[in-house]
Structure 1
Amino acid sequence: MTDSETDSGEPASGKAKRDRANRLDLPPGARHSVIDDLQGILIGALLLALAISLFREATILTGGVAGVALLIDYASPIRFEIAFLVLNLPFFALALWRMGVRFTGATLVTIFLVSGLTAVISRYLVIDSINPVFAALAGGVLNGVGIVALFRHRSGVGGLTIMSSYLQDRGIARAGHVHLVTDLVIAAIALLIIPADKVALSVLVAVVFSFVLSANHRPGRYFG
């Protein structure tokens, strides 16, 4: 074995690059630029707002703070956009303390984008009818892909994503599993507000969302 090879036979330079990538110790050109992060956050927020719009039309739920905000929307005159903003405020102390200024700032931008885009979509996207099963499946996928986009650009969407991202970064629990458990709790509470068949579809949303998130967001797999 030459000096340029490792014990596994892999060229030393290749192993060094792989190890450096796994540690996120990357050259400046390999990291996301500000423009990269902004477009990723915008796309993620748009996907989440589209998912929320499908859920509202079908009177079903998602999980986390968004799910609670939807319950408030269904049970009171308070619209989702307002409830979502207000409910997320207490979580920013945790984000600032544990996740840093950069993550907290990006998450704050995301929350305002989701609220604003949801309001815009409700005005300009008029759905006469929607199949609830389709809304659950498509909304769950949009939700999962949107969260993955946000996580890839070091942002969350407040509330539960702040907590789940922190737990996954520390190796305590997978983000998808944290979301699944909390989503099921929210679905149980929802039985007091919406019909049981809608709650059943909300559980389907949670399963689809958890699958998409767990399959596509794993620590050490992606970098940049």
Structure 2
Amino acid sequence: MTPRLKSTADRHSLAEDAQGLALGIMLCGSGLHILTHLGLVTGQTAGIAAILSYLTGWSFGAVFFVINLPFYWLAWTRLGAEFTLKSLISVTALSLLTEWLPNVWQIGEMATGYGAVLFGCMVGLGLLAMFRHNGSLGGIGVLALWLQDRTGFRAGYVQLAVDAVVFAVAAFLFAWPVVLWSLLGAVVMNLVVAVNHRRDRYVAT
């Protein structure tokens, strides 16, 4: 079942969807740029991509793109062609953006705690913008949205549970301060989504 507005007449136009998804991609990409600048990790597929990127030296954008590929089948069969296409475009755009941002945005000194909170706020808001326009960044977000539509269990809480597993693995690979600051950012991000992502509030007027 695809997340929908209440009626066809209330659906967003193509231009509205494009600006909403673009906003979400910019916010998420900027948040991830802060995250990787500080050497932190996060949960979900982005967290897995970040960990692999740190350990192997491979490009975060390329790893993130590849990790998302298996989830498109679930998106296509469970959430519909429109959602899948928007997610594919969004993941591809985010992967390219994260490769380009270091060339135009050189981050200077930043307190790790503030950076973690800023990351959480920016990516949480970015995800809200994308969910609002029937898109996502694929991966665990696809599973979380599908479960929310099926069961009513908040997408943010599903992501929080998955994050716990990812961080348990990260605890064996990275220093504790890195893991704890990263956990703060992930909690902020998921709380932003959990508190604000309610489909009954997202009705075009």
Q: Among 151, 154, 160, which residue is 1:174 paired with?
A: 154
Q: How many residues align?
A: 201
Question: What CA RMSD, in Å, does the superposition of the two structures yield over aligned residues?
Answer: 1.3
Q: Give 1:172 deviation, angstroms.
A: 4.3
Are positions 1:187 and 2:164 aligned together? no
Deviations 1:82-110 (A, max 9, x none): 10000000001111010110000000000
Over 3 Å counting, the alpha-carbon distance change for 1:27 and 1:91 in structure 2 is: closer
Percentage of identical aligned residues:
34
Structure 2: state its 5+ residue gaps: none
Secondary structure at the counterpart of residue 177 of structure 1: helix
Q: Give 1:157 deviation, angstroms.
A: 0.3
Could you tell me how far apart the structure 2 residues matched to 1:27 and 1:99 are?
17
Could you tell me how far apart the structure 2 residues matched to 1:188 and 1:27 are?
43
Question: Aligned letter for 1:32?
Answer: H
Match in the other structure for 1:26: 7
Could you tell me how far apart the structure 2 residues matched to 1:55 and 1:194 are?
15
Are positions 1:114 and 2:94 aligned together? yes
Deviations 1:134-176 (A, max 9, x none): 1110000011101100000000101011000111111242101
Match in the other structure for 1:17: none
Secondary structure at the counterpart of residue 129 of structure 1: coil
Matches within 5 A, 1:1-224: 24-26=5-7, 28=9, 30-224=10-204
Could you tell me how far apart the structure 1 residues matched to 2:52 and 2:31 are?
17
Greater Cα radius of gyration, structure 1 or 2: 1
Secondary structure at the counterpart of residue 170 of structure 1: helix
Structure 1: state its 5+ residue gaps: 1-22
TM-score in terms of structure 2 length: 0.94
